[in-house]
Structure 1
């Protein structure tokens, strides 16, 4: 059996006395692509931030990339994390942002140029990040997140607000990256998009369902789509 990159159990987190994540268990091995789906505010982002080492769980146990999740020692340099909020330097150009990320991870300067080509960013190479449209900015942020080929990639609503062409391109790159042997976790509230994922966990009020496939959830509800299945489950 493959050694897990992530193996955590019973994760819970509260803010201001309100529990936002409760009893979440996740196991990931190389090549896994898992979707965290459900409405905004359901606990998906907090789960990703715990896996990224940005938030410490109140309770729970397990490891992320070999480090105890509650010890504060997760090596974030080995994780690619793309938040909902655009997080690159707005005053730097696209190539400057990519060069900076490459330097942080000890990569040669050629890595940034390779990313420009791979993700079709040549048209905005010299443009300041803060002036980019939403679609271009998301492309650049994704490129920066995977530049160092992390074994664990965490994406929080990566396609929110994108046009159909950019959204399709980004999903293609996500699938390709998972195919390289990294584990990928994608948070999304778009149930139509979530149907393309091989495995999902459905979040509701901080609790996550057991890991399943979109097809299994659709079939169990006797529905024709994941959206219909989730609605049926909510109304049961």
Structure 2
């Protein structure tokens, strides 16, 4: 069953309207003994967006999320979350739901009882528990002890806990950890439903293909700094599109490379296909170049860079295939 999201939402008067960015911080720096986690990091998350926070281990993703949630402090920098100052997290945290690293749950209590404890602490009623269980598909497992849950079930219960207060901002660190393909598809539908209702989602994951299909705004971090941030159009603009081509016969790969290079195109070989530095409007020209050299193309398609390819391109490196 596809999750649906009720239209009701708690309004917190001290916070600014959703027309402003949900998150806007500049110049964040965080140092620890012997290392620097963040080095002048800038981050803007548009309200109502599904934003991906992308970077290798040690790039500053989790540190950034912890600072936004008041779990850690920053040394320098400034900003706002839901219009309230970053230095006063108590003003915006009632409107924020989060799952960072592993969910903190009582293993000997049932899933429902865990949510009941958290709901009481948050000051929300039983309807919120029912709604959160329904949204995450955990109704049937709610009355089992958490100790009997799989990793994926614990992860879904942690997301349910984050949704108890119907947050305006949802922060998720590796939410697909332990989820099977069905659970991942359910999570995707849930997050799309939430953003359609106006919730802003900031999500970090190592599953770049999933983020590519899921998100509409992207932030690349590297060594504690912001490498890129923007929507898909901005990412495509700064990354040259290319044409993927493959000859009908494998022995024609080298002659095809030579033909394309002679026509003035840069060419990279990836397994049995060629990645040609050419725009969409040049696909027909490439087909004619191949035909002029007696080569029949079995595959010719314009392809945008994947998130991984875009990230390594911004670093000036080749993707780690």
TM-score, length-scaled by structure 1: 0.90
Q: Separation in 2 of the partners of 1:38 and 1:96?
A: 36
Aligned to 1:212: 230
Q: Give yes or no for the alignment of 1:5 onto 2:30.
A: no
Q: Structure 1, residues 25-53: CA drift from partner, whole Å, max 9, x if none?
A: 22334312211012122110111111111
SS in 1 for 2:166: coil
Aligned to 1:137: 154
Give 2:144's match in structure 1, choosing from 127, 132, 136: 127
- Going from structure 1 to structure 2, the CA distance change for 1:164 and 1:218 (only over 3 Å counts) comes to farther
Aligned to 1:177: 194
Aligned to 1:160: 177
Aligned to 2:220: 202
**Structure 1 contact 218–225 (Cα < 8 Å) conserved:** no
Q: Structure 1, residues 176-224: CA drift from partner, whole Å, max 9, x if none?
A: 1122212211111221112121010111111122312346435614454
Deviates most, 23-32 or 93-102: 23-32
Q: Give yes or no for the alignment of 1:85 onto 2:85.
A: no
Aligned to 2:308: 227
Q: Separation in 2 of the partners of 1:27 and 1:33?
A: 12
- Return the index of the structure with the highest Cα Rg: 2
Q: Separation in 2 of the partners of 1:88 and 1:115?
A: 15
Deviates most, 98-107 or 150-159: 98-107
How large is the Cα RMSD of the aligned pairs? 2.1
SS in 1 for 2:229: coil
SS in 2 for 1:212: strand
Q: Separation in 2 of the partners of 1:116 and 1:92?
A: 16
Gaps of 5+ in 1: none
Q: Separation in 2 of the partners of 1:152 and 1:109?
A: 21
Report 1 or 2 for greater relative contact order, CA contacts < 8 Å, sequence distance ≥ 6.
1
Aligned to 2:87: 70
TM-score, length-scaled by structure 2: 0.68
Q: Separation in 1 of the partners of 2:57 and 2:91?
A: 26
Q: Separation in 2 of the partners of 1:206 and 1:213?
A: 21
How many Å apart are 1:75 and its aligned residue?
3.9
**Structure 2 contact 42–225 (Cα < 8 Å) conserved:** no
Give 2:67's match in structure 1, choosing from 33, 47, 50: 50
Gaps of 5+ in 2: 1-17, 242-303
Q: Separation in 2 of the partners of 1:74 and 1:19?
A: 28
